[in-house]
Amino acid sequence: MFTAILLDKNDDGTTAARLTGIDDAQLPLDGDVTVRIDYSTVNYKDALAITGKAPVVRSWPMVPGIDGAGEVIASSHPDWKAGDAFILNGWGVGETHWGCLSQRARLQGSWLIPRPPGMSARTAMAIGTAGYTAMLCAMALQEQGVDRSSGDILVTGASGGVGSIAIAILAGWGYRVVASTGKLAEADYLKSLGAAEVIDRAALSAPGKPLQKERWAGVVDAVGSHTLANAAAQTRYGGTVTACGLAQGMDFPASVAPFILRGVRLIGIDSVMAPLPKRVAAWERLANELDPGKLATITREVGLAQAITLAPELLAGTLHGRLVVDTHA
């Protein structure tokens, strides 16, 4: 027996989340690697699943948790053996396949990547999908030729997991980062991560003109909707906008003007189905280039039961940084 968060659908269609014991025999059969989950995390998508605020879960009952780190217990996959340290992000885990807010999981070996040498399971989950996505955004800016001399980089949703780690990464690389947040009281926190300037999200969140004063050489946007549209409208000629989130909304009320008149590039960042080489490259850079001291200031450790109670707060935007879940606490 092991402990996990289990989601069920009530008769009225709402979601019931509970901490419960599960037998190994109940683990999904469509997996070739059985793992011990030492640490997981609560991402925005996990909070949506736990609260039922969006139809994230596609199969019931469901163990949520799109991220996990620990060790392999048993494997019939050729690339994995008992004792191997791994990281899991995405692949529909916690949506269509039982996830990692649990002490054990059965997964496809092709979904796992080796944990970089020297990186603990806890550190991996302090980074999690949020930090891995932030690194994919930062790498995309570099790939598009946005360097330190290009100009300011805007990071929206700056107090969240993606935003916080994006600031730490980009500032660590020497970029001048401007953080957009609805929590101006946390300006000192954002500056401690490396933000050179903090602006109120209200400056970006309302409908705006198709083309605005050029300001940003690059953008990391985790918000979507009007914020993404305004960020694109303010991006300099030849600049790059990376889009990875929808905290404000899935809509994109913009025009083609920034793209055809200023040559702005809009790059979509997907972390869920990203191919293995890109994942490995991102995690290797996270292991080597993310300041562990800054990561520590972002991180709060909780247990499985607290993951349930804190999910609504994460959705409400009253938390900052990352929630790391010790599955054995």
pLDDT > 70 fraction of the chain, expressed in percent and rounded: 100
Q: How confident is the model at residue 100 (pLDDT cuts 50, 70, 90)?
A: very high
Q: What is the pLDDT of residues 21-46, one digit of tens each?
A: 999 999 999 999 999 999 999 998 99
* Contact (Cβ atoms closer than 8 angstroms) between residue 259 and residue 240: no
- The full set of domains in the chain, from first to last, is 2-115+294-326 (3.90.180.10), 129-268 (3.40.50.720)
Q: Taking the alpha carbons of 47, 50, 52, 54 in that order, is the dihedral positive or negative? A: positive
Q: How confident is the model at residue 64 (pLDDT cuts 50, 70, 90)?
A: very high
| Mean pLDDT confidence for 155-169 | 94
What global pTM score does this model have?
0.93
Q: What is the pLDDT of residues 101-133, one digit of tens each?
A: 999 999 999 999 999 999 999 999 999 999 999
Average pLDDT, the chain: 96
Q: How confident is the model at residue 319 (pLDDT cuts 50, 70, 90)?
A: confident
In 3D space, the residue among 178, 128, 134 whose CA is nearest the CA of residue 153 turns out to be 178
pLDDT at position 84 over 80: yes
